[in-house]
Structure 1
């Protein structure tokens, strides 16, 4: 053979086809793209299953973030708190000022309470109550009748006696007493006790 393919010695020329680097680059790019899509799909499936297997929960996450806060269902009216007309109150004066027990008892009666004894406090409390007063009752009254009476004298101390019998309460007037809580404020406190407003559901943060 002549020209550039002349045979010399025992070696023969190898004819190779030119490399197509452009095709290799395209194939590599396509492979990376396929792997990326597959990885993204795997993450989405993992997210769906970790949310309880419900695809709708994964799709609607962002939509739920835009929901407005809505109030929780209103709780049922508390059955543990009695009406004032079912509570008997003994009004006792532990101060040196006369007439306080009678005046306070008359006001409580106007507000619907039953009135028991009216007079001076026992020796245990007489001239020993420095605050506005002490509300005293049986242990069973701690979460029932005592809070109702407590709404009428908000700053009074509440105490219970395990050995106390019956359901009567004592309102013992102390040195810091001036008058009962204003009726409008007492009524609002009773409403909050018997029919509390539902707390709004907090907004979701995205």
Structure 2
């Protein structure tokens, strides 16, 4: 059976199309793997930076507390206290920029960090208890981020099938913890009261100093 020229060209093109399709699929797969690898590497770096910054914060709180405990109102003491306060504020700002204010675990971690930063001088014991809560909530946060890394490393069928796993993790595991032993209601209230107590003491001290400097105004 004789083939026409067009039929011959068509038959010759079929395997070429198959080869081209295979090449394109290979390129797409390779690009996807490079993308996943890049995302995974960057997220791992972010997790490690976050872990290090939270550890720095948890260390900076007692450092500042002990500096305030040794208060002697000398210039040397003020320099040490000021430096440690600045370090704590810097770490606080960095962590605030790292976390997502709309994430449930992030939200609780941020609430603790921002509440702890102020009352260290007001009530060291409350601040240290709050650091304990911070560590526990941060462990949940790091676990959740690691689960995201593993999720992103899988191919799309797995990701499609397990796309609701993160929300399930929050709902079934983290929220029961956050509403039970990890509840922040009491500790945040104590931190707020410590902050108010600190503010009142400072205002009173300032008024006393002002009165001593200007007795004629009494």
Greater RCO (CA < 8 Å, at least 6 residues apart): 1
Greater share of strand residues, 1 or 2?
1
Greater share of helix residues, 1 or 2?
2
Q: TM-score, normalised by structure 2?
A: 0.30
Q: TM-score, normalised by structure 1?
A: 0.31
Larger Rg: 1
